[in-house]
Amino acid sequence: MVKRHSSSIEDYLEAIMLASLEGSKVTVTQISQVMGVKKPSVTSAIARLLEMGMVAHEKYGEIVLTEKGSRVAQDVYVRHQALRRFLVEILNVDEEVATDDACRMEHYLSSTSVDRLNKFIEFVMDCPQGRPIWLDGFNYFVSHGHRNPEQMLICSSRCNVRDKLTNNDE
């Protein structure tokens, strides 16, 4: 649905949005710092964003997202969070690595896939019976290099139930 822009543009929008949430007025210096670029890069990015109708900004004034810019920024952030949560909460990747990966990949995940990923995270993490046992099994698998024999027994026993279910369905 939402039109995609360059990863640079998306990064600026996201940074501006997050800076806005800090409360105080968003400045060029602030954005340049959080994004690790020089100030003229920010100025020229703002000029592009202005043309696109993504921000309101008058010379030497504060940077404010328009409705449109805000929508795009939130969209990017949703993708960021989906990727980050998946990496951290399911794959158990370190926070920093996950954040970095999410920051780079967030620009390229289709809306179809984010939706599915979010459903997956919800399915796994908001399980009514609590954290699924297989997630512990996965962490065991990662750290030991092989499956937990005890859990394999559980899995095996479940298969009988599954078979019954499958037969019922057919």
User: Minimum distance from CB of 42 to DNA (Å)?
Assistant: 7
Q: What residue ranges bind a second copy (CB under 8 A)? A: 87, 90-94, 97-98, 100-101, 104-105, 107-110, 112-113, 116-117, 119-120, 123, 127-130, 132-134, 136-138, 141-142, 147, 150-152, 154-159, 161-162, 165
Task: Pick one of 4, 8, 134, 140: the residue that binds DNA (CB under 7 A).
Answer: 8
Our separate counts of H helices and E strands in the chain read 8, 2
CB nearer to DNA: pick between 7 and 151: 7
User: Minimum distance from CB of 88 to a second copy (Å)?
Assistant: 10
3-state SS, residue 65: strand
Q: What does the alpha-carbon distance between residue 99 and residue 96 come to, in Å, rounded to a whole number?
A: 5
Binding partner at 120 among a second copy, DNA, none, C-beta below 5 to 8 Å by kind: a second copy
DSSP notation for 121-169: HHHHHT-TTSS-HHHHHHHHHHHHSS--HHHHHHHHHHHHHHHHHHHHH
User: Minimum distance from CB of 38 to DNA (Å)?
Assistant: 4
Query: CA angle, corner 114, sides to 110 and 119, nearest 5?
Result: 150
Q: What does the alpha-carbon distance between residue 114 and residue 111 come to, in Å, rounded to a whole number?
A: 5
DSSP secondary structure letter of residue 55: E
Name residues contacting DNA, limited to 40-79 (CB under 7 A).
Answer: 40-48, 57, 59-60
In the complex, which residues of this chain contact DNA (CB under 7 A)?
A: 6-9, 11, 27-30, 36-48, 57, 59-60
